[in-house]
Structure 1
Amino acid sequence: MKKPIVKIYLLAAITIFLYSCSQNETNETDLKASSQQFEIINVTHHDGKPFSTGTSSSSLTGKYVDNPGGGVMMQAFYWDVPAGGNWWNTVNSKLTAWSNAGIGSIWLPPASKAQNGAFSMGYDPTDYFDFGDYNQNGSVETRFGSKTELVSLITNAHTENMKVYADIVINHNSGGQSEANPFTGTNTWTDFSGIASGKFKRSYNDFYKNSYGNNDEGAFGGFPDLCHANPYVQDWLWGRADGVGKYYKNTMKFDGWRFDYVKGFGAWVVNAWNANVGGFSVGELWDSNVNVLNDWANNANSSVFDFACYYKMNDAFDGNNLALLNDDMMWKRNPYKAVTFVTNHDTDEISNKLLAYSYILTHEGYPTIFYRDYEEWLDKNKLNNLIWIHNNKATGTTSILYSDDDEYVARRNGYNGNPGLVVYINNSNTWQERWIQTNWANTQIKDFTGNSTWVPTTQADKWVKIQCPPKGYSVWSVNQ
């Protein structure tokens, strides 16, 4: 969400799978002893079972296919994308390239008509069933385009075997007319009886405070706060066949949901939506406390954006303290319900972004790529390489092999015949080398980023020496 009108939302969701890495080299033995100080931390699912993975690792058609390492999501917008009704077409034009790169899903901004019409980013929703086909709030199209263009985008994404996630804003509404409100003794902007679609009309009793109480978990920006305790609201959001959730899923063909500002209502709301509508879901719970994130994800039966990981990466990479990556994060607590990210439309604090992407794209969780990072700000070839590594090598549980202020080494332990990987991140200004223990004996490995030209062979006891460039990363796996 963004600040009132200029929202602060975050992204996400999705729950996901895994990735892996392994390593290194030479037949030297004299350096191994010093490596006994390395801290090895195993990160496993709470029930101790191995994480499942997908199947194929590449596509002959160029379309996205499920991979051993799971999926990657693209946040297909940023704050204040160009107005003028062409954004759906812009995204549509990039789908084939994204699919070829290994992107398996896209997250779209709120698609329905909002109070500011053609200028709104959608986080002030008025009519959930106006996708740019009714003349209201000053325009027919939304900021992003027409309903026809949105349907074309979703259809083409599915042709590319990509899933499409809708941003759902159900904490608050905006754009209603003034009406006398007996619960406040004043007039409130809660009359939505005149919305153009004629569906999900609302009045003062559908917003707090009302006959159901004075408030729920939280209001936002002074907007009317939707009352999910009202059976009428529940029915229109997730109950009835022509309600918001089922219309989005069954008619518009969205595959999942990113729930905005979930601090504003109970986790039971998302749980009920998921139980009645289905599809992938991820909640924007802006909190760095892993316990809060995990509790919400379990109660909502949903994925959640891993803000704990986000803030730890910011402190680790920008604060030059990679040992912070040993700390607890949502992906370590519950990788199937953790959606990881480096930046989004609301927050962009991490400076060493490629190091952060090398982290989330080699570790567990469901990683998200930000549109502007991919299309404008960073090296697309390097991101595509990391996406390929994620999809093809990042499998199995995670073991942290070493960390200090400047260096971090972790191993993905592989799964179902996939060898996994070893990722080495170096935040210092010089090349670094380190002995580490892999899962492979007498095996030649290489750096799949191409940053190192070494092609070492692991010893019989699986130890090997690897290297990493300054302010960079290397990712090692079996040379095959």
Structure 2
Amino acid sequence: MQNQTLIQYFHWYYNEEQTLWVKVKNEAENLGQLGFTKVWLPPAYKASGGGYSVGYDAYDLFDLGEFDQKGSVPTKYGSKAEFLEAVNALRDNGVGTLADVVFNHKAGADELEQVKVRKVDPENRNEFISDEFEIQAWTKFTFPGRGDTYSSFIWDHQCFSGVDWAEDTQEDAIFSIQNQYGDKWEEVVSEEHGNYDYLMYADIDFRNPAVREELKYWGKWMHETCGLVGFRLDAVKHISHHFFNEWIDFMQNNAGDELFIVGENWEINSAEELQSYIDRTEGRMQLFDSLLHLNFHEAAKQGNQFDLQTIFDNTLVQLSPNLAVTLVDNHDTQPLQALESYVDYWFRPIAYSIILLREQGIPCVFYPDVYGAKYEEDGQFIELNHVEELPELLRLRKEKAYGLQRDYFDHPNCVGFTREGDTEHDNSGLAVVISNGDEGIKRMEMGEHFAGQIFIDALQKRTEEVEIGADGFADFYCAAGSVSVWVLK
């Protein structure tokens, strides 16, 4: 079986001449050849920003660029027909599609409602700082451009637990909606700000059974309409994990084939917090390993002062490797974003060798590392270069990175690991040496079945040929501040 490899096929500032869905269709064959098995696409439905929105200000989940709403028919990425053509092209090339799902909130309501609320302390959301009073809030969604096509469900204030804007008083605050399902926030895993249920816009209330049923109905409709293989779930730490347990069980039971589901629970402190979420959802979803990304960021900043022996400390891939989706960067960490923590260019090939060639975790490659990116915001111009070594590293993952793994994380500046290959993949097996300081040498075991065989550096950083000894060991090299991947000549 081929190793699973994901790609996040967008970045926050995607601005190329081709709309994204057209580009996906045109690149589908290339993506399959590179070794990608799944493509995570950005939100495909209409957002409150219409044709300009990245998509996380979700408005109408049923409008995949089909109806004239929010100032446009298509989304930023194209029309519904183009989206379906892109998904079909990927499938024809052996690549599945993951849809991005924003369930936490809705934005761009169509009508105002008179709503009973209490203000809360933004730093401690559990503390009310006002008595109950009424405001005019944007909480009614009737979708006049779509009508009752696909669904006749009307969202009103009983579907939401909070808002951040009072239209009548023009006040910006966090208002807890006092509805029939509760006068406080829902139970969520994150205790930041006391309770981090409220994030933005009109916060969906999953205590309302009609809301839960509508979102299950939408998930089934989306899966069947588009032929998806899974979902990427946005902002899961702000949403009741009880709802996700119910929703995922429903989706898996209706899917036929098992769906691949990965959640974004962006944690910056503790792998135990990510593990706690996995425990509460009983392993129903994968999680992105934000902490490994932050280790990469720190390692790149510190250079040879970073102890490479600690690169996996306090990471999800260390605690729950079977449920970790590993990454180097994403749309939230790229330059000019709120969570900016972009991994310096010199370290990116090292980071990719770690997530692509090791046994633990399922890697997710970031779009600019394949294609590059240029964008500008507020007078700042950013250019992200593609990672030259990435196509070869992807090929090595597809063809070579199999079999028993042996680790040699035994030096602060030079570490390595080997994969001894297997019988299912011809000529598989490799040895990886990484240095964040001077040029390195590492004696490592490939296995006696390689005795007398010659290995070369697939990345062409070193020109030596290495012969495997009778005991299965050899000395492998890498250049200063670099990575070399040794494979059969």
What is the TM-score normalised by the length of structure 2? 0.78
Q: Which residue of 1 aligns with 2:313?
A: 327
Secondary structure of the residue aligned to 1:340 is strand
- Opposite residue 93 of structure 1, the aligned amino acid is N
Give the distance between the partners of 1:450 and 1:83, measured in 2 at CA: 32
1:202-227 alpha-carbon deviations (Å, 9 max, x no partner)? 10001113222221233455311101
Q: Which residue of 2 aligns with 1:370?
A: 366
Tell whether 2:322 aligns with 1:312. Answer: no
Structure 2 regions of 5+ residues with no counterpart? 119-133, 162-176, 189-195, 253-258, 335-341, 373-383
- Opposite residue 350 of structure 2, the aligned amino acid is L
Q: Which residue of 2 aligns with 1:190?
A: 139
Task: Please state how far the C-alpha of 1:323 moved relative to its aligned partner.
Answer: 2.3
- Opposite residue 281 of structure 1, the aligned amino acid is I
Q: Which residue of 1 aligns with 2:45?
A: 112
- Opposite residue 252 of structure 1, the aligned amino acid is C
| Contact 1:315–1:324 under 8 Å retained in 2 | no
Structure 1 stretch 370-379 or stretch 95-104: which is displaced more? 370-379
Tell whether 2:397 aligns with 1:390. Answer: yes
Q: Which residue of 1 aligns with 2:248?
A: 274
Report percent identity of matched pairs: 28
Q: Report 1:420-459 matches (<5 A).
A: 420-428=429-437, 430-440=438-448, 442-446=451-455, 447-459=457-469
* Cα 1:228/1:84, change in 2 over 3 Å: farther
* Cα 1:397/1:226, change in 2 over 3 Å: farther
| Contact 1:263–1:285 under 8 Å retained in 2 | yes
Q: Report 1:76-475 matches (<5 A).
A: 76-82=9-15, 86-176=19-109, 177-183=111-117, 185-197=134-146, 198=148, 199=151, 200-208=153-161, 209=177, 210-213=179-182, 214-216=184-186, 217=188, 218-238=196-216, 243-278=217-252, 279-288=259-268, 289-300=270-281, 301-320=284-303, 321=306, 322-348=308-334, 349-351=342-344, 352-363=347-358, 364-376=360-372, 377-379=384-386, 382-396=389-403, 398-412=405-419, 414=421, 420-428=429-437, 430-440=438-448, 442-446=451-455, 447-475=457-485
* Cα 1:396/1:353, change in 2 over 3 Å: same
Give the distance between the partners of 2:285 and 2:16, measured in 1 at CA: 32
* Cα 1:83/1:233, change in 2 over 3 Å: farther
Give the distance between the partners of 1:299 and 1:443, measured in 2 at CA: 51
- Opposite residue 196 of structure 1, the aligned amino acid is G
Give the distance between the partners of 1:305 and 1:297, measured in 2 at CA: 11
Task: Please state how far the C-alpha of 1:381 moved relative to its aligned partner.
Answer: 5.1
1:61-119 alpha-carbon deviations (Å, 9 max, x no partner)? xxxxxx1xx12111111102228882211222211111111111111111111111111
Task: Please state how far the C-alpha of 1:297 moved relative to its aligned partner.
Answer: 2.6
Structure 1 regions of 5+ residues with no counterpart? 1-53, 55-66
Task: Please state how far the C-alpha of 1:161 moved relative to its aligned partner.
Answer: 1.0
Give the distance between the partners of 1:268 and 1:414, measured in 2 at CA: 41
Secondary structure of the residue aligned to 2:237 is helix
Task: Please state how far the C-alpha of 1:328 moved relative to its aligned partner.
Answer: 4.0
Task: Please state how far the C-alpha of 1:271 moved relative to its aligned partner.
Answer: 2.3
* Cα 1:319/1:143, change in 2 over 3 Å: same
1:142-197 alpha-carbon deviations (Å, 9 max, x no partner)? 11111111111111111111010111000011011211114552222110124533
| Contact 1:84–1:145 under 8 Å retained in 2 | no
Secondary structure of the residue aligned to 1:408 is strand
- Opposite residue 287 of structure 1, the aligned amino acid is E
1:214-261 alpha-carbon deviations (Å, 9 max, x no partner)? 2123345531110112111110111xxxx2111111112221111111
Secondary structure of the residue aligned to 1:422 is strand
Q: Which residue of 1 aligns with 2:376?
A: none
What is the TM-score normalised by the length of structure 1? 0.80
Give the distance between the partners of 1:408 and 1:394, measured in 2 at CA: 17
Secondary structure of the residue aligned to 2:40 is strand
| Contact 1:130–1:196 under 8 Å retained in 2 | no
1:361-406 alpha-carbon deviations (Å, 9 max, x no partner)? 1122111111111101445652111011112222245432134332
| Contact 2:418–2:444 under 8 Å retained in 1 | no
* Cα 1:461/1:84, change in 2 over 3 Å: closer
Structure 1 stretch 401-410 or stretch 391-400: which is displaced more? 391-400
- Opposite residue 31 of structure 2, the aligned amino acid is W
* Cα 1:110/1:220, change in 2 over 3 Å: farther
| Contact 1:171–1:226 under 8 Å retained in 2 | yes
| Contact 1:317–1:356 under 8 Å retained in 2 | no
Q: Which residue of 1 aligns with 2:381?
A: none
- Opposite residue 201 of structure 1, the aligned amino acid is I
Secondary structure of the residue aligned to 2:389 is helix
* Cα 1:412/1:313, change in 2 over 3 Å: farther
- Opposite residue 258 of structure 1, the aligned amino acid is R
Q: Higher RCO, 1 or 2 (CA under 8 Å, sep at least 6)? A: 1
1:23-71 alpha-carbon deviations (Å, 9 max, x no partner)? xxxxxxxxxxxxxxxxxxxxxxxxxxxxxxx1xxxxxxxxxxxx1xx12
Give the distance between the partners of 1:118 and 1:256, measured in 2 at CA: 25
Task: Please state how far the C-alpha of 1:138 moved relative to its aligned partner.
Answer: 1.1
Q: Which has the higher strand share?
A: 2
Structure 1 stretch 390-399 or stretch 339-348: which is displaced more? 390-399
Give the distance between the partners of 1:313 and 1:141, measured in 2 at CA: 37
- Opposite residue 365 of structure 2, the aligned amino acid is I
Q: Which residue of 2 aligns with 1:7?
A: none
| Contact 1:132–1:146 under 8 Å retained in 2 | yes
